[in-house]
């Protein structure tokens, strides 16, 4: 697998980014993952002013301050194993973040990232997020309608619950914020020949195949 491939996984809330990260893992793709959502949820659990501020912002579906996020991403990318493909999930989401993205990769002597955008409609996003359950232990996510046991995680036995920011108001807010930024971010990567779009309304195995095709096209 090409080591000089780095990927920004992009998509509205509910597009299925974390599902596809899991499917890539199961398919044996060797990558390091930096997930902003996960980093922030971990920080939000801290008993500190910063932790409480992050928790409050996330529960409303608002975005955190660009400067703070940029520093988090720099730190996370600095620490990650760069001998593998690096997949960055959840960044950039705003113009202020987009402006520094390539520079962060360049400063760390990493190949500039391609963007894989999983595209879905707002209607489908709301439907999926309303039925999303997350394991309180291992953080695996599930779609309620596909589960026999809606209480217990089938991977680790942990308790399943809705994510705190999967309320109808927070979902709408997150989607609206996303829509405001998408055109600019997409345009930036498109004009630099680093943009790949996946039809997020296809069946998930087909979506996975489409993502694998993009990754395999970078094989030496
Ligand atoms: P989703 O894609 O479903 O919104 P994430 O787990 O990626 O879920 O993000 C959850 C929340 O974390 C966001 O609603 C926002 O509050 C915060 N967040 C994540 N990424 C960023 C970012 N790049 N900039 C600012 N806030 C962010």
- pTM for the model: 0.88
- Greatest Cα pair distance, the chain, in angstroms, is 48
CA–CA distance, 14 with 6 (Å, rounded to integer)? 22
Which of 19, 35, 36 has most ligand 1 atoms within 8 Å of CB, for mutation? 36
pLDDT in tens, 5-30: 999 999 998 899 989 999 999 999 99
Interval 127-153 mean pLDDT = 92
Residues 6+ apart with CB under 8 A from 27: 208, 212
Residue 15 makes CB contacts below 8 A (sequence gap 6+) with 118, 119, 120, 125, 200
Closest CA to 16 of 215, 198, 219: 198
Name residue 205's beta-bridge partners: none
pLDDT at residue 219, rounded to an integer: 81
Q: Is the pLDDT of residue 109 over 70?
A: yes
Structural contact between residues 98 and 186, judged by C-beta atoms closer than 8 angstroms: no
From the CB of 33, is ligand 1 less than 6 Å away?
A: no
d(CA 194, CA 180) in angstroms, rounded, equals 21
Q: Atom 4 in ligand 1: which residue has the minimum CA distance?
A: 13
Span 187-203, pLDDT tens digits: 999 999 999 999 999 99
Task: Give the separation between CA 217 and CA 219, rounded to whole angstroms.
Answer: 6
| Closest protein CA for atom 3 of ligand 1 | 13
What span, in angstroms and rounded, lies between the C-alpha atoms of 120 and 67?
29
Residues 46-67, mean pLDDT to the nearest whole number:
94
Give the confidence band of 220 by pLDDT, cuts at 50, 70, 90.
low
Q: Where are the beta strands (DSSP E) in 1-138?
A: 6-11, 31-35, 85-89, 114-119, 132-135
Q: Are strands 85-89 and 6-11 parallel, antiparallel or unpaired?
A: parallel
What are 156-214's pLDDT values in tens digits? 999 999 988 888 888 888 888 888 899 999 999 999 999 999 999 999 999 999 999 99
């Amino acid at each position: 697998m090409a080591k000089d491939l780095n990927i920004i996984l992009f998509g509205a809330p509910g597009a299925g980014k974390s599902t596809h990260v899991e499917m890539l893992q199961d398919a044996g793709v060797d990558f390091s993952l930096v997930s902003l959502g996960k980093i922030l949820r971990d920080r939000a659990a801290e008993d500190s002013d910063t932790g409480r501020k992050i928790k409050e912002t996330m529960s409303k579906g608002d975005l955190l301050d660009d400067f703070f996020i940029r520093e988090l991403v720099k730190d996370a990318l600095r620490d990650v194993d760069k001998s593998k493909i690096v997949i960055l999930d959840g960044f950039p989401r705003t113009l202020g973040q987009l402006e520094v993205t390539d520079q962060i990769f360049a400063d760390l002597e990493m190949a500039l990232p391609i963007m894989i955008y999983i595209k879905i409609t707002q209607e489908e996003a709301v439907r999926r997020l309303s039925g999303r359950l997350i394991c309180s232990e291992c953080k695996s996510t599930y779609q309620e309608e596909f589960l026999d046991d809606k209480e217990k995680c089938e991977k680790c036995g942990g308790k399943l619950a809705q994510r705190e920011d999967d309320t109808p108001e927070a979902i709408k807010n997150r989607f609206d914020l996303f829509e405001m930024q998408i055109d600019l971010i997409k345009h930036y990567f498109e004009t630099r020949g680093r943009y790949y779009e996946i039809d997020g309304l296809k069946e998930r195995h087909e979506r996975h195949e489409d993502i694998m095709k993009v990754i395999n096209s970078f094989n030496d």
